[in-house]
Structure 1
C-alpha cells in the first residue's frame, strides 16, 4: 500500500474515532446515572450497580466455564498477563441482553463492539501496564485495520469484591480503582481529537487475597468482524 493511501486511511480513522468519542461523551454526560471520574487528561466514567447481584453471579459462572490462560497479541504471558480469560458466547440470550444494555448506555452501534471477554484473576495474577488501543508499530496493525480498525472505548465491569488487591490502576495518572461488584467503568482510549491517549495506560494489579472477576468489551472505529 502506498504512503498516500496509508495516510488517507489514517486520517479517515482519526475522524471516525473523534466522532465515536463525541457520540459516547455526549451520551454519558447527559445520563444522570453516570459519574465522570475527576481526573485530567483522560475521559473515564463510572456507573454503580450496572449489573445486579444475580447477574454478577451468573456471569461469574460463565467466566469460569470459558476461562483459559490469557493470551495477548504477543503470546500467553508475554506482557505480564497472568490471568485466565475467554470470550463469552455472543449468541447466548442472556449475553445479548447485557450487550444491548452496554451499547444503549454508550450510544454505540452494536456492530462496532467486540465479543465480551471475561477475566479471572487468582492470588498473584495480574495484567501489567498496557494499552487497549493498537500501535502502528505492532506486527498485527494491518490485520486489525482489516477487522474494524483502532479500538476506541473500553467498557469494563467488576463482578465481585476482592479481599485484597486487584485494583485497576491508570499508571500515568493518580487513579486507582478498587473492584466494586456490578460497577461499570468506561474510558476513551483516544483523546478528544481521535488520536491515541497515552494516559489510557492501565494495569490490573495483582490480587493478594480472594479472586477477581471482570468483563471487558472493546469498541472499534468501524464495524468489527
Structure 2
C-alpha cells in the first residue's frame, strides 16, 4: 500500500488527535468541509466513477439481507434497509479499499470490512450515531477488541428517483445522494470521547432505490488480540 507524498498511514490509540487526518483529507482535491464547530464532516463528489458503482450495486444485490442494529431500542422500524458484507478479495472492493485508505490516510489495519446497503421505497435508518455507546449493553461485545469507531466513510452508489437523503440532525444539514459522492466524518470529539452531534439519519426513499457502501475505522487494529 502506498500513500500520497510518502506519508505513513495514521493509526488510532485512545485519545489520538484527529488533526493529522483532517489535514490529510483537506489536502485532497475537491473536498468540501461543512462549516460547523459541532462535528467534522467532509464531502467529495465523483469519488467513485459510475461503472465501479454499478459493479458494487450488483454485488450488493447478490448477497443482501435484512439490516440489524446493536443496542436494540424496541422499534422494529428503526432500520429497515438491507445489508451486504462485501468480499475484500473482489477487485472492485479492493479498489475502493485502496482509494479510501489513500484519501483518509488512515492505517488500513484499523478498518472494518466494507458493507453495502440497499434502501427500497419507504425504507430508512432513523437518527443514530455510528459509534457504540460506552454504557450500551453491547459495548463490550463490539468494542473489546478493536475499540470504538473513529471515522466513517460512506459513498452513494446511485441517486434514487426521490428521497433517500442523509440528514445530520444536530446541524440540520441534509446531503442529497449523488452517484459516487463520498461523505466522511469523525465520530469522536477531539478528546477521543463519542460525539453525539454526529447523529444522522438515512431518510426514507420515496421512489426508486438507494445503494450506499460504508466503511468504519476503529481505535485499534481490526482483529487485535486483547489477550
TM-score past 0.5 threshold: yes
Tell me the residue number matched to 1:48.
45
What is the TM-score of this pair, normalised by structure 2?
Answer: 0.88
Q: Deviation string for 1:22-66 (max 9, x for gaps)?
A: 231110122232211223311000111000010111111011112
Tell me the residue number matched to 2:6.
none
Q: How does 1:118-133 map to 2 (within 5 A)?
A: 118-133=116-131
Tell me the residue number matched to 1:9.
none
Q: Deviation string for 1:113-162 (max 9, x for gaps)?
A: 00100000001000000010011111121122323110000000001111
Tell me the residue number matched to 1:99.
97
Report whether the alignment pairs 1:113 with 2:92: no
What is the TM-score of this pair, normalised by structure 1?
Answer: 0.88
Tell me the residue number matched to 1:32.
29
Tell me the residue number matched to 1:8.
none
Q: Quick check: 2:71–2:138 contact (8 Å CA) kept in 1?
A: no
What's the offset of the Cα at 1:193?
2.1
Taking only aligned residues, the RMSD between alpha carbons, in angstroms, comes to 1.7
Q: Quick check: 2:112–2:217 contact (8 Å CA) kept in 1?
A: yes
Q: How does 1:94-173 map to 2 (within 5 A)?
A: 94-173=92-171
Q: Distance in 1 between matches of 2:14 and 2:127?
A: 23
Q: Quick check: 1:72–1:79 contact (8 Å CA) kept in 2?
A: no
Tell me the residue number matched to 2:181.
183
Between 138-147 and 211-220, the greater mean CA deviation after superposition: 138-147
Q: Quick check: 1:71–1:77 contact (8 Å CA) kept in 2?
A: no
Q: Quick check: 1:21–1:152 contact (8 Å CA) kept in 2?
A: no
2:202 counterpart (201, 204, 210)? 204
1:58 counterpart (55, 60, 67)? 55
Q: Quick check: 1:147–1:224 contact (8 Å CA) kept in 2?
A: yes
Tell me the residue number matched to 2:85.
87
Question: Structure 1: which 5+ residue stretches go unaligned?
Answer: 1-14
The structure where helix makes up a greater share of residues is 1
Please identify runs of 4+ aligned residues in structure 1 that moved more than 3 A.
74-79
